[in-house]
Structure 1
Amino acid sequence: MQEPKTSAPEIIAGGRALFGAPEGQDARILAGMARDLSRDRKILTHIAMNDIRAAALRESISFFAPDVEVVYFPAWDCLPYDRVSPNAEIVGARVAALSRLIEWKADEKYLPRILITTVSAATQRVMPQNALSSSGFSARVGQRVKVPFIQEYLTANGYTRTDTVREQGEFAVRGGIIDIFPTGEELPVRIDLFGDEVESIKPFDPATQRTEGKSDSFSLRPVAEFFLDTESIERFRTGYRETFGAVQAGDPLYEAVSEGRRYNGMDHWLPLFYEKMDTLFDYADGATVTLDQHAMQSKDERLAQIKDFYEARKTLEQSLRAKGKKKGSDVSLSGTSYHALPPAKLYLSADEFSALTAQAVQILPFGAPETEGVRDGGGRKGRDFADIRALPDGDVFGALRTHMVHLASEGRKVLIATYSEGSKERLKGMMAHAGILSVKDCERFDDLKKVGKAEYGIAILALEHGFVANDLAVLTEQDILGDRLTRRTRKRKSDNFLTEVSSLNEGDLVVHLDHGIGRFLGLETLKAGGILHDCLKIMYDGGDKLFVPVENIEVLSRFGSDEGTTQLDKLGGAGWQARKAKVKKDLMIMAEGLLKIAAERQLKQGEKLAVDHEVYEKFVSRFPYQETEDQLRSIQDVISDLGSERPMDRLVCGDVGFGKTEVALRAAYVAAMSGVQVAVVVPTTLLARQHYQNFANRFAGTGI
């Protein structure tokens, strides 16, 4: 199968725009450019509009061009001039990406390579190459390494010492055994020393702490984008004083860096740790740059946002100086003003970015105008069956079959792209029911090349819309079945557990895991062991005080409500532990009763309700959203209950908008198609009308 014919030199010579590159085809074009550039030992840098677009492009390149190595350089996941540091995993990914770019330059074997980043990441300055290239550390079995040296290296490069290593960027020392979780690696390593000699290196599971195999060597890179060695600390102190003048007594940032310890949010003063900052373009010097369609507009918005945040910080700082410190001012937990670095130190200016991207090629999804010299990537938007779906008796799969035969007759390979394994199997079943039988699973694009002339491919590839090229046609699940709004999965946590100090107000009641109910009085900075700590001040019965460091805020949860009669627990008393023990006992009694009820229910017979699988799948395909994992599990459990011979006893709980109605709709459909009546009971007339409309729309054309 042919790749897109337009080569990298032709694209660059053709001007600053490449047309005919819809989503999916753009990945094939960029991969082809990377292959051409690799012959001249050059790489391709693509600047995506945002993280979502970058992730989609990486997935498409992985499918269409697995031979192309892709490095992703993300932006910080915090706002400009924020008080919090970026997520440790994000920082680790950034350092790993920069390290890989340095390795590319030294690599004798030059392969097709693409650096993918975002506008937000490309407009921010980064740590200098010479500092990063000299900060690596590696060791092999049999090599001599001193434990104090490793400890000093890990501490200076941002690693955190713990008792048990579970997260990236942690290390533990137990005699001659050192556990380290290097940033960017899947597993931590356990280094066993005999004296000063490395006797063994074994990866281990951070959950079970059990070793898994052996390694001959290990390599470390920094966890942070700055170092806390003597030279860097002195450079920061000098730069801080030169930029902001005399340092106020009790400045927590200045004191933390001076003492060689981390401080939340210190990343926003990154330039003060170095004599000179680099840009991402310095790491990928000589690279050909391509841009998303709206990348330049996104750049303008990003730089305007940076300016707004900087000016807001300066306004608050000036107000603080004029009126004095007071509650609500832009101060830290210990009352120190936020000194914001000028944007030019941490970010590129509009002129700098324009100069660095002056020869960049913009990748455009729409067709090329009829003008000489314009470069065309050869792709166009594919067929959408919305017109067929709009007809009352429209045969979508009949039209799909006809269109696929037509595409194949023109010499194109045909690929169906679906969102997930479940939707792939569902769509295959519906296609088979419609007589489209020659559909083969494709893990990679190479698998599609092996598909015969009368066969079609189907793969998991999250494209919203398909495209047609000279050699390939892609049809997506959304093109065939209609809009499918995907939700990004997220881990959820109990709302009661606290994650931010700002979510508390003075006087709020809180519950400590070990000490019970207390009242939050505010924040206070304490010095313990020569180190300053910002702490939450909690008062208990009798006026006793407990100070909880902000880094341990997860031990606190919010108390449900305060009616003015809530009794505080006594610090160190037995009341809280006694209540916890009583609740546990009551829960055990309750659990025993529930087990008895469940056992009795298992002995009773119920009516079995079932529906034809193909008919049910056709109804399910009309759901216009991507089901969440919890929603799919709930639906499966409910349908299994209906299909069993036991009475159902299930309560489905979820927040507003999380899909409970769809669970009820599918259960109602199965029951109704099994010949029984369904009653939906709701608390209000308005809700009854809303559900009536939803049910009527979903059941339209089903005969119910």
Structure 2
Amino acid sequence: PASPADKEDPRAQERQAARMAVQAALLERSPDGPLLIATTLEALFEACEEADVLRNASVALHAAQNYSMRSLAERLGSELGYDSESICEQPGQYAVRGSLIDVYPVQENQPYRLDFFGDTLESIRPFDPTSQRSEGRVDKLLIAPAQAVELTRSRSFLDTYLSDIITQRALPKKSSPGTEKLLGSGLIHWIFVEPSFQGPQTPWKQLVKAWKTAPTQSRVLGLVSADLLESPLGSTSTAPFKVEALEAYRPWPLDMGVGHERNESELEARRNFLQTLAQWANEGQPVECLARHSGELVRMEEWLQATAPKGFRPKVGVGPLLKGIKISWITKNATSSQPDRQPWVLATEYELFGRKPQRLMSLTQRKRLPVRSRLEPIIDFEDLVEGDLLVHAAHGVCRFLGLQTLESQAGAQLVITLEFANAMRLHLPARDAHWLSRYVGLAKASPKLASLKSASWQKTLAAAERSTLDFAAQLVHIQAERDAAPGHAFAEDTPWQKEFEASFPYPLTPDQNREWLAIKADMESSRPMERLLCGDVGFGKTELAMRAAFKAAIGGKQVAMLVPTTVLCEQHFETFRERMCDFPIVVEMLSRFRSPKEQATIRKEMHSGLIDIVIGTHSLLGSQVRFKDLGLIIIDEEHRFGVKDKEALKAHWPHVDILSMSATPIPRTLYMALMGARDLGTLETPPRNRLPIETHIAHYNPKLVERAIRAEIDRGGQVFYLHNRVATIHSVARKLQERIPELKIAVAHGKMGAEELEEQMHAFVAGQYHMLV
């Protein structure tokens, strides 16, 4: 990343640490080793420390050597810019505990524990920042500065770290004999992916012009000897190369659209892609296929064996491209002044199966602990405004008229003024505020205020109590029927089930693994499953739901997944369809995003058994919905559905397994789980490297807002802009549009019609807008 130019940037320290980590890694690399740097134009020409300055500012430690522990701790804080903490958990931190110094170097992906005996460094041990347990030993450690050192001598990042490589290995030297044997301009390429917005203007006008005119999505600039570029820093030093021409090529589209629809065109596209790979292999180009893990490797080998052209057997390997790859240009004629380079073709499961690549985390975000949110009070009477409806436990529905101080024989007293029927008022002492609660009603019409002169409130309470007891008896009857009814016992895992589970690109957390084994045991038993799965957002509930749905569908049963909103319905539909695209499972969606004709067709196919998994909103609760052989019901965000809706599902399908999921289950559901009426599973461990939600508070600054928006859009993301007044929300959107003309903005608020609001949300989720105000 580029260095933050503004001190108001809330992530300035993190971005600076990331730059220092890259510079430190370049200091440790072998001079002749392969090098691949992903960067931006701004960061490439950003002023930075010269290599020898940074090397002298870093601390190199070796085990069994003598160092002053006190001096080292002082240097970490005063010179290297590390933060002193009681526990070392994140990059750029250190902690001194007795004879130990825990330090998290910014260029490393784990912290290290320095164990001293006097002034002798006895051992250097990496440790887990979560458990704080040591894991093995290392002989040496380099601690790079966490913040920029004094720029007594500075040049651009390009001049400092890359100019020697380009000069020595990419540019022909006419005065040196045998230069024709040197690798030409193809050794080093700059690859530019066009951002959503063009960044600041650069001195290299020709480069920008060539960049704009090249085809979108893939640009490769070949560096050859020509006129020198003007130095962006305005110093006497210039980059020893010049852009002569721009090559834009792309052997195969990155997004083939495969793996999303089961039709002939998709299969034909895959076969055509294999024909292209086979043609390249016949031309002598090495072709390799790479899988992320062993599960994908097995499927890739089986698929290639069944569909690859005769005689084409590419090399297949496992391993994500996280530690770097070495690409060698093979010279066919060593005496030629322009050696022929033999390209190396690498095909991943993304090209073969249409799997989307996972976004990698930055170095400073690894192993970061989750941010815990503080619990907020359920009711705060300071938030009440005059006219709000309340319920007095003894007298009934009333209207809040405010707080005031009244004089009495006991002195001044703070009271809550309440209005009842016939304009009668009751002054309730503030100490008795526990008698009050907010009014929550299902009907849209406002309720009648209770009367202080009649017993109508007591009659209402008695009727509600009888109705509650009747409904409770009905619930007990439904639950008793489910307990007595025999359920379907699914078979043990099939090879396809194991293959599907192996296709998940991340390791399960211990909690996920435990709960998945429990869910499988429930499904394989003859008792209908009744399980509640609790876990925070992003803790992996959906993955377990997909595995359960896959197990049911492969076992010959149908699956219904109930979600509260149409937007969430479509998101789950895309996720399920993508994960199961390589298996004979039909996934469909039933919501308002389908036309009436499409909904009728889907219901018909559900009844005939052509659809294996259907994901829908409340439309799944309709009387017209029928299944041929339903085996599993999944309720996502079960707290968003009413008790009657959920119990109606149980009454209609008493033999079916039910898996409910929620981050915040309603008290009744949680109570049933705690008393044993249903099984309870919890996901308390966040997935490794889960990104925390970061909140920064600052005074409103239009420039800061603009920078934040541009940074997110350039990253390929989207922005929510929250405004607190419907009356001025459109003017806010207009001002943002004037400040950033390229921005595509949608506006949504609570006074819109339900369908219009849903359309705006759907368009935003589909990526048609950059920002939703």
Q: Into which bin does the TM-score normalised by the smaller protein fall?
A: 0.3 to 0.5
Structure with greater helix share of residues: 1
Instruction: Please tell me whether Structure 1 or Structure 2 has the larger radius of gyration of its CA atoms.
Output: 2
The alignment's TM-score, normalised by the length of structure 1, stands at: 0.44
TM-score, structure 2 length as denominator? Answer: 0.40
